[in-house]
Structure 1
Amino acid sequence: MTTTVLAAGDRFVLPGLLSDAVRARVGADVEVRELELPWPHVPFGPVAEVQEASGTEEELIAALRGARVCVTQLAPLTERVLAACPDLELFCVSRGGPVNANLDAATRHGVAVCFAPGRNAAATAEHTLGLILAAARHIPDLHADLRAGRWRGDFYDYDNCGLGIEGAAVGLVGYGAIGRRVAAALSALGARVLVYDPYVAEDALPESAARVSLDELLAQARIVSLHARLTPETRGLIGEREIAAMRPGAVLVNCARGGLVDYDAVRRALESGHLHAAAFDVYPEEPVPPGSGLLRAPNVVLTPHVAGASRQVAHTAADLVSAEVDRFLHGRPLAHCANPAVLDADGVYRNGSVGGR
């Protein structure tokens, strides 16, 4: 029997990438139809009760008619969509977490929701390293000055020149898939890596890294880079007190989540000179409001939440969700299911038995 799959892509994880990956994995027993969502040309946001979604419930309902499977990055799986699409059994989100899916409603309707952990870990680690170097060495400012015809030889002055990595203490707040990659790169450059992560065991760290408390990390590190998830426990983790506790002339980098940091406190620390520089890819409000003081702060490098954007990431994301489709269609355990109540004891989908389907 042929299974209908909806590839609801966007301008990053293209519908064609999703379609090609599903066909390559599954073969001829699928009919794949495509839907293109407007992100990133139109910012994602809340759709009904879900967050960080793209497109509308109406267009998704129409596109899902008769489909058992949806592979997507940002399509909104809401109560309304689930109620209108009784054939849907598998919804695969090609992201590190399925924030655009109502998991409780999906479980009630017997729909398995899968996701793609680690899809952009390498890209985010690479971008983090780029921001560390750009901020520590003032690369964007020097580039802009030179293009404007100013040769900044004064940056050889001791008081002006940048910070090096070799021999410096670099603190990583969080040691997951991204933090581990950043640690390896920094160790290769000769940094002394300090790690604060209460959920990582001491013996999980390599010999080149030392586990410390957050206070020890802030007091010792010349560069602090954030790699923690945003939870009620970590929201506002780096505030006025923590920034004041950092070494004078330190660098702060955040490619994790904007809610981890008090950006007003960062701006004040940059203006006072307490911080040498800062670099951010994520913000409490996105896009950043035009009136934000951060846009006018000195010695700050800013990118628009693109750390996880590389062509390899788009291909990896498509491969990860297509692998889940293959497992689903062949009755094998799903690897990354966010609502395991719809699975049996072996991790295999239970044919919609949960919720009365």
Structure 2
Amino acid sequence: MADIVISEFMDETAVAELANRHTVVYDKTLVDRPEELLRHAAAARALIVRNRTQVRGPLLEAGRRLVAIGRLGVGLDNIDVAACKARGIAVLPATGANDIAVAEWAVTTILMLLRGAYAASAEVAGGTWPRERLMGREVCGKTLGLVGFGAIARETAARARAFGMTVMAADPFVADGDPAWRAHGVAKVGLDTLVGSADAVSLHVPLTEETRALFDAARLAAMKPGAVLVNAARGGVVDEAALAAALTAGQLAGAALDVFDTEPLKAGSPLAGVPNLILTPHIAGVTVESNVRVSAVTAANVLKALEECPS
């Protein structure tokens, strides 16, 4: 048994750094073997996870010696934070380490959706030449609406403005006088104004009771005709069935989802076969570079927590 258990993939250099100081079990498939994970957790003082490992209920009960949960990412909806706090377990997200990766995914995907020319390889290779049908739109001069204006949204704004986009954001938790608005060249607006006027909407909010199904059928219907929606925040923020209906009806020009209500996405989802929809497997924040950064930050966080709470 080991001091540190890692149940999902992590950069090998960071794993080695942990193993230099503590006994480590690293098996990126443990998340899919819950009974074995429970056995390892019983002896562990730290658990390192991504978003699939559910750190709640039986797993937390098994980990009676736990003092730290390292999160290889930033979202915490797979961790019972309240229960951890009650037991004095430090929950340690890798804040800031994957901001660039998510921002690049968001802007790249908006470019692809508005241009609309990147799904025709088979047609072109087969001798079809659909130039007029694939005449898409430029992002220059368009308006990007950011729902949420935290660190990732600010990185997204910087890249969108470099392409000539005007950027607005809705975030009631960032004060009107916050210098970030001016520093990033972003206009603060209400959510209804943003939804009705943005050519592209990018979601950057956590999943809470207030944000669950924030983009439901009514809000999707209120979006500007021809607009696109991208979500690399949390799956529950978008009503997937309503989005499928809006795309099928041509109400939206396109959408991209990196996150889903249930992950992995199950066969028979209402999102299957929907036109003008890009689906990626919760990978927006994971690049070769961000994996190194996230893993290094998480390893350092966990080592510090273990040092501050010796066995």
Task: Classify the TM-score, shorter chain.
Answer: 0.7 to 0.9
Q: Which amino acid aligns with 1:13?
A: M
Relative to 1, partners in 2 of residues 1:133 and 1:148: Cα closer, same or farther, differing over 3 Å?
farther
Show the counterpart of 1:187: 161
Q: Work out whether 1:93 is the aligned partner of 2:71.
A: yes
SS in 2 for 1:292: coil
Q: Work out whether 1:22 is the aligned partner of 2:18.
A: yes
Give the Cα separation in 2 of the matches to 1:141 and 1:64: 48
Q: Over residues 242-300 of structure 1, what are the superposed CA-to-partner deviations in whole Å (9 max), with x where a residue is unaligned?
A: 22222211112122122212233333332333322222222223333433343222222
Show the counterpart of 1:36: 27
Q: Work out whether 1:249 is the aligned partner of 2:226.
A: yes
SS in 2 for 1:275: coil
Give the Cα separation in 2 of the matches to 1:89 and 1:276: 48
Show the counterpart of 1:8: 6
| Deviation (angstroms), 1:315 | 1.5
Relative to 1, partners in 2 of residues 1:279 and 1:92: Cα closer, same or farther, differing over 3 Å?
closer
Q: Over residues 295-327 of structure 1, what are the superposed CA-to-partner deviations in whole Å (9 max), with x where a residue is unaligned?
A: 222222222222122122221222112222343
Counterparts of 1:158-237 in structure 2, within 5 Å, are 161-202=135-176, 203=178, 204-206=180-182, 208-237=185-214
- Give identity over the alignment, percent: 35
Unpaired segments of 5 or more residues in structure 1?
Answer: 40-52, 332-348, 353-357
TM-score (normalizing by structure 2): 0.85
| Deviation (angstroms), 1:98 | 4.3
Show the counterpart of 1:355: none
Relative to 1, partners in 2 of residues 1:105 and 1:252: Cα closer, same or farther, differing over 3 Å?
closer
CA contact (8 A) 2:68 2:306 kept: no
CA contact (8 A) 2:67 2:305 kept: no
CA contact (8 A) 1:55 1:75 kept: no
| Deviation (angstroms), 1:59 | 3.7
SS in 2 for 1:282: coil
Show the counterpart of 2:250: 273
CA contact (8 A) 1:6 1:64 kept: no
Relative to 1, partners in 2 of residues 1:267 and 1:89: Cα closer, same or farther, differing over 3 Å?
closer
Give the Cα separation in 2 of the matches to 1:140 and 1:219: 27
Relative to 1, partners in 2 of residues 1:72 and 1:17: Cα closer, same or farther, differing over 3 Å?
farther
Relative to 1, partners in 2 of residues 1:216 and 1:94: Cα closer, same or farther, differing over 3 Å?
same
Relative to 1, partners in 2 of residues 1:55 and 1:180: Cα closer, same or farther, differing over 3 Å?
farther
Counterparts of 1:110-129 in structure 2, within 5 Å, are 110-129=88-107
Of the candidates 137, 142, 145, which is equivalent to residue 123 of structure 2? 145
SS in 2 for 1:234: coil
Highest Rg: 1 or 2?
1
Give the Cα separation in 2 of the matches to 1:294 and 1:82: 33
Q: Which amino acid aligns with 2:28?
A: L
Q: Over residues 312-346 of structure 1, what are the superposed CA-to-partner deviations in whole Å (9 max), with x where a residue is unaligned?
A: 22212221122223433554xxxxxxxxxxxxxxx
CA contact (8 A) 1:61 1:81 kept: no
SS in 1 for 2:96: coil
Relative to 1, partners in 2 of residues 1:151 and 1:301: Cα closer, same or farther, differing over 3 Å?
same
| Deviation (angstroms), 1:123 | 1.2
Show the counterpart of 1:131: 109
SS in 2 for 1:295: coil
Show the counterpart of 1:344: none
| Deviation (angstroms), 1:152 | 1.5
SS in 1 for 2:293: helix
Give the Cα separation in 1 of the matches to 2:56 and 2:141: 51
Q: Which amino acid aligns with 2:4?
A: L
SS in 1 for 2:219: helix
Give the Cα separation in 1 of the matches to 2:205 and 2:302: 30
Q: Over residues 88-135 of structure 1, what are the superposed CA-to-partner deviations in whole Å (9 max), with x where a residue is unaligned?
A: 433323231444444455455544332322332211111111211111
Unpaired segments of 5 or more residues in structure 2?
Answer: none
Q: Over residues 1-40 of structure 1, what are the superposed CA-to-partner deviations in whole Å (9 max), with x where a residue is unaligned?
A: xxx6424143x315x34322336xxxx6x2332230317x
CA contact (8 A) 2:139 2:163 kept: yes
| Deviation (angstroms), 1:140 | 3.1
> In terms of mean alpha carbon deviation, does 258-267 or 97-106 score higher?
97-106
